[in-house]
Structure 1
Amino acid sequence: MNYLVISPFYPENFQPFTIELAKQEGVTVLGIGQEPYDQLPEELRNALTEYFRVENLENLDEVKRAAAFLIYKHGPIDRVESHNEHWLETDAALREQFNIFGAKPSQLKKTKFKSEMKKYFVKAGVPVVPGQVVKVDKDIDKAVKKIGFPMIAKPDNGVGAAATFKLLNQQDLAAFREYWNGQTVYFFEKLVESSELCTYDGLIDSKGNVVFETTFNYVYAPLELLEAKKDNAYYILKEMDPKLQEYGRSIIKAFGMKERFFHIEFFRNGDDYIALEYNNRPAGGFTVDVYNYAHSIDLYQDYANVVTGKEVADRPYEPQYCLAVTRRDATNYAHSEEEFLAKYAANVKMVRRMPRAFAELQGDTIYILTTDNRDVLNDMIAFVGKTV
């Protein structure tokens, strides 16, 4: 099997995907990236049979030429993947160009556009709120009539909370109209009056079966992070609500993806849930590591097993709560890093500086901690994030 990794160097925490694949018998791992070969760590270089450096990974024609060269030299490519939102469309274009297994551009439509996601949520029988695509100015009036205030406006094809607006009244709507360039297609939805945002995350095998599933709660929703520069904080739950599990599995079946990670966001609405967004990849940042620490597993190895048709490893350990929390260099905290690392020394699993691309939204340093006790979890959230 020839496996092509797009951007094997960045983000650095995804390098284990390449390294674990290279350990699989019969797998040749190839890479295309824009970093100089000498910049790659030795373990990553050793995992790559060949690395083709391009001047600009954004240049699809250049990437296609690189892939064509690797195919000429090594034979057909069996898989291509980045696991990165930014390169999902590049991955899909290469699969289509070279007839490679996996999601093609036409299949990405349902995972890239919020308006399309909603159709599949409805197909899965999962609650949603009313929505309206806004392409031209008159569509805004249709949205107001159909949905009514309060609403949320976000790019139909967008990630996270960027360029998102709360529309509580006509004044907010006027401000949006002034901002909007009329070129970006927006999607208006009824604003959900809930601050509880949770997820259904996991890994699907080549037959479409869920082989790993978990859930986490956000301490602050992404829009709140963006608006108030809060510290990013979320935590894996020890147990999953059966209703959330049922909804999540129905959505996976409706979307029909295979051999992929997924990250689905929901609002918790009393005893029920409202589907918000489907992401055709693992959650961003260091969340794969958070999954691993919470469940005492190795998803980098599990993914390599899935790709090569093997069973994933047994799950002998009970899950723990696992907290991922960031701090910002510019924030004045009540407790120093030394203080809280000493206080929770038995709980700390990882401390890392955040890549620049994530730091502005999420914070500068991330801390990952585990515990079996919900009260300790709550104490950690409060202690680490307390400001002066």
Structure 2
Amino acid sequence: MNYIVISPYYPQNFQQFTIELHKQGVNVLGIGEEPYDQLDEPLKQALTEYFRVDNLENLDEVKRAVAFLFYKHGPIDRIESHNEYWLELDAALRTQFNIFGAKTEDLVKTKFKSEMKKYFQQAGVPVVPGKVIKKLTDIDQAVKEIKLPMIAKPDNGVGAAATYKLETSADVARFKDEWDQTTPYFFEQFVTSSDICTFDGLTDKDGNIVFCTTFDYAHTPLDLMIHKMDNSYYVLKEMDAKLRKYGERIVREFGMKERFFHIEFFRDGDDYIAIEYNNRPAGGFTIDVYNYAHSIDLYKNYASLVAGNGFEASNFEPLYCLAVSRRDNKHYQYSEEEILGKYQGQLKTVKRMPRAFAELQGDSLYMLTTDSRKELQQMIADFGATE
């Protein structure tokens, strides 16, 4: 099997996908921008060949790289990055070379918030009213139909980037002044709940879910962006049956195969409202958080699944796993030495966040496990307490 990894060097924790694929006997080929000498040694050992391009955003250049690897190694069976930034590139290459996996046309339902909402509705999952905004007159019509307060997001966008909260007519006027009128926006009813949870997991080549989990955000992505709060989220030991039912329906409706998925919901009383479907694993080091919570190795299991060797489920009871960040420029009540001393038995690892994520999410990320919800809440309070 020939498997091309797009950007095998970055993010660094995703290098483990390449290493585990190699262990499974897969012929792993890399295409990236970094010089070969910059690659970590374990990554070099796992790659049969590495093709350096000047610019991964130059589709023609990357196509030529794929064509060369095809000529030299034979038909390509998979192309993947697992990275939000390269999803469209991955799909374009699969489309061009007729390779298994999500093609360009398949991404429409996961790129546009307006399209996602249609699939959520088809799955019978609650959503809030929304409307696509393409011209100024659409704004007043949306205000009339949906009513304030509303959230305005780029229809094709990632996370909370370029998001507006519209509560008053002054907010609407400000949006009109700042909007470039070329980027379609999606306006939807504001949900008062700040309780966001997820349904995350992995499907096999037939689209069956082989692993799923859920985590809660201590702070919403919008709050992180606006208030520069410390990022904090935690995998739950158990999943609510209704959330599982909604998540399974959505995964079935979107029909993605041999892919990670990351679906966000508002928790609304004893019900849930679907927010967004992400056609990839949750960002940053979240796969590591899943692994610690479930005593599993998803890098290894993904590689095994791709190689046709199946998925090995964990035999251990799940734990809560907290991922909590701190910022270098904040003054905390407890020093790092004090806090790690207190929780040395629960601490799994400490990671420095890549520069691209540090401004939004914090500079250092700590992962800890516990079987106690009470201790979990104490951890969040202790790590975040400021002077």
The alignment's TM-score, normalised by the length of structure 1, stands at: 0.99
1:233 match: 232
2:23 match: 23
Distance 1:53 1:205 in 2: 30
1:372 match: 371
1:137 match: 136
2:46 match: 47
1:258 match: 257
| 1:160-212 Cα deviation digits (max 9, x unpaired) | 11100000010100111111010111000000010100000000000110000
2:13 match: 13
Deviation at 1:309, TM superposition (A): 2.0
3-state DSSP class of the match of 1:31? strand
Matches within 5 A, 1:132-171: 132-171=131-170
Deviation at 1:306, TM superposition (A): 1.4
1:87 match: 86
Correspondence 1:274 to 2:273: yes
1:77 match: 76
Distance 1:103 1:312 in 2: 21
| 1:344-374 Cα deviation digits (max 9, x unpaired) | 0001101011001100110001000000111
1:193 match: 192
1:310 match: 309
Deviation at 1:314, TM superposition (A): 3.0
3-state DSSP class of the match of 2:349? strand
Deviation at 1:223, TM superposition (A): 0.3
2:156 aligned partner, one-letter code: N
2:273 aligned partner, one-letter code: I
RMSD, aligned α-carbons? 0.6
Deviation at 1:76, TM superposition (A): 1.0
| 1:144-166 Cα deviation digits (max 9, x unpaired) | 11100010000001011110000
Distance 1:57 1:2 in 2: 20
1:327 aligned partner, one-letter code: R
Deviation at 1:315, TM superposition (A): 1.4
Matches within 5 A, 1:347-358: 347-358=346-357
| 1:248-290 Cα deviation digits (max 9, x unpaired) | 0000000000000000000000000000000000000000000
Distance 1:142 1:156 in 2: 17
Distance 1:357 1:209 in 2: 33
Deviation at 1:313, TM superposition (A): 1.0
Deviation at 1:58, TM superposition (A): 1.2
1:146 aligned partner, one-letter code: E
1:328 match: 327
Deviation at 1:36, TM superposition (A): 0.6
Correspondence 1:216 to 2:215: yes
| 1:215-251 Cα deviation digits (max 9, x unpaired) | 0000000000000000000000000000000000000
1:363 match: 362
Deviation at 1:311, TM superposition (A): 1.9
2:119 match: 120
Distance 1:387 1:135 in 2: 43
Distance 2:242 2:279 in 1: 22
2:133 aligned partner, one-letter code: V
2:19 aligned partner, one-letter code: I
Distance 1:202 1:377 in 2: 23
1:189 aligned partner, one-letter code: E
Deviation at 1:310, TM superposition (A): 2.1
Distance 1:370 1:60 in 2: 42
| 1:125-147 Cα deviation digits (max 9, x unpaired) | 00000000001111111211110
3-state DSSP class of the match of 1:240? coil
3-state DSSP class of the match of 1:368? strand
User: Structure 1 segments of 4 or more deviating over 2 A?
Assistant: none
2:386 match: 387
Instruction: Quote the sequence identity (%).
Output: 69
3-state DSSP class of the match of 2:186? strand
Distance 2:99 2:190 in 1: 40
Distance 2:313 2:117 in 1: 34
1:297 match: 296
1:8 aligned partner, one-letter code: P
Distance 2:153 2:364 in 1: 28
Distance 1:51 1:184 in 2: 37
Distance 2:313 2:202 in 1: 15
Deviation at 1:104, TM superposition (A): 0.5
Correspondence 1:33 to 2:32: yes
1:48 aligned partner, one-letter code: L
| 1:93-135 Cα deviation digits (max 9, x unpaired) | 0001111000001100100100000000000000000000001
| 1:33-63 Cα deviation digits (max 9, x unpaired) | 0001011111100100000000111111111
Distance 2:347 2:67 in 1: 45
